[in-house]
A = this chain, B = another copy of it.
Amino acid sequence: MTESGKIGVRQERATQARRRLLVAAARLFSRRPYDEVEVDDIAHAAGMAHGSLFHHFGSKRGIYLAAMEEIVARLRERRAGRLQGGSGGLGDDMEAQYMSVAENPAFFVSVMRGGIGADAEVQQIFERDRWEAIEAKACGLGLDSANPVVRVGLRAWIAGADHAMLTWLELGRPVALSRLIESFLLTLAGTLDSIAMLDPSVDLSHARTLLRRERDWLAQREGARPVTKTARSGAVRRITA
């Protein structure tokens, strides 16, 4: 007992040290590209010697991949955590996802960067997660995610939403986040039309019904709230520069 207790203490400390390194790495790799982050930076940020980093992760790339997985895991967790409550539908799902984005834009940029032009292993970490999310959505909408047209359509829809978030952040969050997310349901409607056009054999009736119901639900929730003038009227600032 005593012995296993001692071992437990050591293991716990080791695990904590690993976590400290991982958190530091996730933060640094989110803010700067791989080659501009030094191993010593990470170790120093975690309050440790760089040797420990190699002890726990073997190499710089090792901790990089671990950090990316960590980021993905955190996003997934966030998504899962919020799913209870609300309509349980698409809107909630997206709200969960994009609220976490709004809270930590740097991670989000990492994720988007990771999806494009990175090497296969890194891409896979992010894309696997994203396809999982897409498949969940396809399933929820009664669509067949094995159909390439569905895949192309939904992936494009998500990419558009992601980029909308990016531009929205860059432009200083000109509208309420919830309304932006709501608007994604309208672009989804256009995406469904696209899918129908590219493959008329796809049955979209269920998806359209759900989408309408979801929008109604959101509109009703919106109507119940005290609506600020800005958010409602969309009287957004004009860009002059």
Contact = CB atoms under 8 A, between A and B. Distances in A.
B163 A149 contact: no
A24 interface: no
Interface in A6-46: 33-35
B197 A182 contact: yes
Kindly state the interface size class of chain A when it binds its partner: 35 or more
Contacts of A151: 167, 171, 239
Nearest to A240: B146
Nearest to A169: B152
Interface stretch (A63-71, A93-101, A107-115): A107-115
A167 B194 contact: no
Point out which of A155, A188, A194 has the most chain B C-beta atoms below 10 A from its C-beta.
A194
Point out which of A147, A187, A201, A237 has the most chain B C-beta atoms below 10 A from its C-beta.
A187
A49 interface: no
A29 to B, nearest CB: 11
Interface string A154-167: 01111111111011
Contacts of A201: 233-235
A200 interface: yes
Contact of A187 (B156, B162, B202, B240): B156
